Amino acid sequence: MADWSEAVSDSRKGDEFHYLWAARRCLHLLDLHSPIARISIEGAAPGDTITSKSEEIIDVAEYTEEDDGPARYIQLKHSSKRLETPTPFSELENTFSKFGDHFKAAVKERGLRSATTSCSFEIVSNRRISARLKRGCQRLTENPKDGTAEATKVRDATELSGRHLQEFCKLLVFRDTEACYLGQRDLLRLETQKSTSRAHGASLVPLLVELVRDAALVAGRTEITPETLLRKLGVHQDELFPAPPEMEHVENALPRYQLDKVCEWVADGTDRFLIHATGGVGKSVFALQLSTNLDANGAAVLYDCFGGGNYRHPSKPRHLHGRGLVQIANELAARGLCCTWVPNGHMRPDQYLMEFRTRLEDSVSALKIMDPGASLTVIIDAADNAEGVAEGGHSFAFDLLQEPAPEGVKLVVLCRTERRDLLSPSSSVQQRELSPFTESESLEFLRQEHSKASPADGLEFHRLTQGNPRLQSIALSSKLPLGEMLADLGVNSHKVVHRD
């Protein structure tokens, strides 16, 4: 009775190891930089063209987006006993036999060359695998006729020979340093918190395990995708990027003479910067140019608080922490610099800020691995608009400006000159005014539409518009002959159109 009970306990521990390890792999589906596109539990996925009678040996199968992309076929082994004794070949003989059958099916379906690039076979265990067995497999990659005992056992079990045996052994991966089922549970909790939030990540662990367990019940007849995973977590895919930029594209945008100086100012400064200007001076266009230039120093992300005017709509808020911070963080995640942030709508502003800072720190660390001198710049355009609609609290942009940024991070905020007080910038926030066009910039801009405009025309154009880029753009969009356009400006030059 005691032996039966112990066997049941060991079996259940093995199942838990299986579900928890597979749930950890499912988190990779949330990685916007990961090649993994779908995961099958207990067998190959329904769309897998490689079929064999040995599919039952596959506990987890991972696939890329390409139909013929590489697939990873994985068997999981959990041990509760004899952990100090390496797993011998005798306990893996069936695994080698079944993996061999599946490899032969892959060769039959795709040919040897394609099979070697389209699949791999992994044994994952919390117990060390015999070093002699590993050496035997390694020898077979060099000499398929190797006569050592372990090599012979592998050759006999797989019923492979020659080049086929060599290539099969090259595709074998042993991952025998995994934690036991209890350790897997802790790792899953920590990794889930990293992808969601420290405040709520642990509560999502049961949902992840349930997703894997349910998939196992329909063995190989379903697959887990980013969409199904997010749905299980109660999140729509659009919520990962809740406030994408909606800036108006400006063709042939004029490079500003101030751009290089501002880039140097940011590079040489501390951590927080406020660029201000009156309406129509071109803050958004400048923000785009600044983002492009500073991206060359490491990485730059631009957040658009205005959203084409949609920031005013209650259904499309852009000032909330759960929108702005998640959008910026996941743009960094899409570049492979930090973990994807799966949002939770029940977090406080301070919790959002803490999670955001963690992702900024991770991103800087990733950048500095590639270039020790790299920095990360977060640019927030129209921050005054965001703060202006924040009722009963502050916008995320306001809060970011109130405390030092993590080391290696630069925060650049743009707003109207007359609305700076909304953001309450402290003396530690460096400020700079963005000027209207210079006379030479006005002439260059004028010549984009009127190529034969003279310096005198440019000077008059500049005087009538006060160098205001928006007013100049409106005037040029009229498509009037140069003389008529200037005459019209002489009558209506006071009618400068401002966006709110």
Residue range 13-54, pLDDT digits in tens = 989 999 999 999 999 999 988 899 999 999 888 878 777 777
The sign of the CA dihedral 9, 14, 16, 17 is: positive
- For the chain, helix (H) and strand (E) counts, in that order, are 19, 10
Tokens encoding 421: 């007080």
pLDDT score at 65 = 82
Residue 323 is which amino acid? R
Contacts of 103 (CB under 8 A, 6+ apart): 115, 119, 121, 158, 160, 164, 168, 171
Tokens encoding 42: 């207990």
CA distance 439 to 455: 9
CA distance 319 to 331: 17
The sign of the CA dihedral 28, 34, 38, 41 is: negative
pTM of the full predicted structure? 0.86
**pLDDT tens digits, 79-115:** 988 889 999 999 999 999 999 999 999 999 899 999 9
CB atoms within 10 A of CB 371: 10
CB atoms within 10 A of CB 101: 18
Tokens encoding 402: 């109130």
Confidence check: pLDDT of 8 > 70? no
Decide if 214 contacts 201 (C-beta within 8 A).
no
**pLDDT tens digits, 298-344:** 999 999 999 988 888 888 899 999 999 999 999 999 999 999 999 88
Decide if 141 contacts 151 (C-beta within 8 A).
no
CA distance 177 to 89: 17
Whose tokens are 């001076």? That residue is 281
Contacts of 371 (CB under 8 A, 6+ apart): 298
End-to-end CA distance of the chain: 78
**pLDDT tens digits, 175-184:** 999 999 999 9
**Range 297-311 burial, b when 16+ CB lie within 10 A, else e:** bbbbbbbbbbbeeeb
467: left (phi over 0), alpha (psi -120 to 50) or beta: left
CB atoms within 10 A of CB 233: 18
Run of H or E including 60: strand 60-63
